[in-house]
Chain A
Amino acid sequence: MSKVVEISPTTRHEGHSKLVLKVNDAGIIETGNWCSITPVRGVEKLAVGKTPEQVPKIASRVCGICPIAHNLAATEAMEASIKCEIPKDALMLRHILQLANRLHSIALHDILILPDLYLPGTETKINPFTAEEPVRTVAKRIQRLREIGQTIGQIAGGDCIHPRNTRIGGMYRNCSPLAKTKMYDLAKEGLVLAHAQMDLMIAILRNYQAREHVDVGGMKVALPKTLGYHNQGYLATHAFYGSSSLDECPSWDINRFKEVRPWDWYMGEMDVTLEEPRYPIGGTTKLGTKVNPQMEACTGIPMYDGQPVEVGPRARLAVYKGYDEKGTVGQNIAREMEYTDSLYEMIDCIDALNTDGKVVADYIPDGDGTLGWASNEAPRGTDVHLARVKDWKVQYFSMLVPTTWNFATCSAALTGAPWQLAEVIMRGYDPCVSCATHMIVLDEDNKVVAQKLIQ
Chain B
Amino acid sequence: MLHSEIVIVGCGNPLFGDDGFGPAVIEEMEKLTLPDNVTIQDGGAGAPHFIFNFLNPEVTKKLIVVDIADFNGKPGSISRISGKDLKPGAYIDPHSWDGIDQLCRIRDQIDTTVVLCQPSKVLKKGDADVDMELSEDVKNAIPKAIQVILETIGVDYGTTINLQEEGRQPGTAKICGSPESS
B32 close to chain A: CB less than 8 A: no
Q: Which of B114-122, B127-135, B162-170, B171-179 contacts A (4 or more CB under 8 A)?
A: B127-135
Consensus secondary structure, chain A interface: loop
Contacting pair A161 B130 (CB below 8 A) = no
CB contact between A14 and one of B1, B42, B53, B96 (< 8 Å): that residue: B96
Chain A residues closer than 8 Å to B127, beta-carbon distance: 39
A11 CB contacts on chain B under 8 angstroms = 92-93
Asked if B93 and A12 make an inter-chain contact with CB atoms under 8 angstroms apart, the answer reads yes
| Chain A CB within 8 A of B45 CB | yes
A40 to B127, CA, bound (A): 8
Chain B count of residues within 8 A CB distance of the other chain: 29
- List chain A positions with a Cβ less than 8 A from chain B: 11-16, 38-43, 45-46, 58, 60-65, 67, 108, 111-112, 143, 146-147, 150-151, 154-155, 159-162, 432, 453, 455
Contact of A112 among B45, B51, B93, B129 (CB under 8 A): B93
Contact, CB under 8 Å: A161 / B43: yes
Does A61 contact B49, Cβ atoms closer than 8 Å? no
Q: Which of B13, B43, B45, B94 contacts A111 (CB 8 A)?
A: B94
Q: B1-37: which have CB < 8 Å to A?
A: 1-2, 13-15
Cβ contact within 8 Å between B45 and A61: yes
Q: Is B73 at the interface (CB under 8 A from chain A)?
A: no
Residues in B neighbouring A151, C-beta threshold 8 A: 1-2
What distance in Å separates the Cβ of B100 from its nearest Cβ neighbour in chain A? 16
Most buried by B among A64, A150, A151: A64
* Contact partner, B95, options A13, A39, A58, Cβ 8 Å: A13
Chain B interface residues toward A at CB < 8 A: 1-2, 13-15, 41-47, 49-51, 53-54, 92-96, 125-130, 132
Closest chain A residue to B43, Cβ basis: A161
Q: Are B47 and A161 in contact (CB under 8 A)?
A: yes
Known: A12-B95, A160-B1. A65 touches B128 (CB 8 A): no
Contacts of A146 in B (CB 8 A): 54
CA distance A136 to B43 in the complex (A): 27
Q: How far is the CA of A112 from the CA of B95 in the complex (A)?
A: 8
A147/B130 contact (C-beta < 8 A), A11-B92, A65-B46, A112-B94 known: no
Q: A43 to chain B: which residues have CB within 8 Å? A: 15, 130
- Using Cβ atoms and an 8 Å threshold, which residues of chain A touch B92? 11
Select B46's contact among A42, A67, A143, A147, beta carbons within 8 Å. Answer: A67
User: Closest Cβ of chain A: how far from B98's Cβ, in Å?
Assistant: 13
Cα distance, A15 to B46, chains bound together (Å):
13
B94's nearest neighbour on chain A, judged by CB, is A111
Contact B54 A62 (CB under 8 A): no
Cα distance, A60 to B53, chains bound together (Å): 21
Contact between A150 and B95 (Cβ–Cβ < 8 Å)?
no
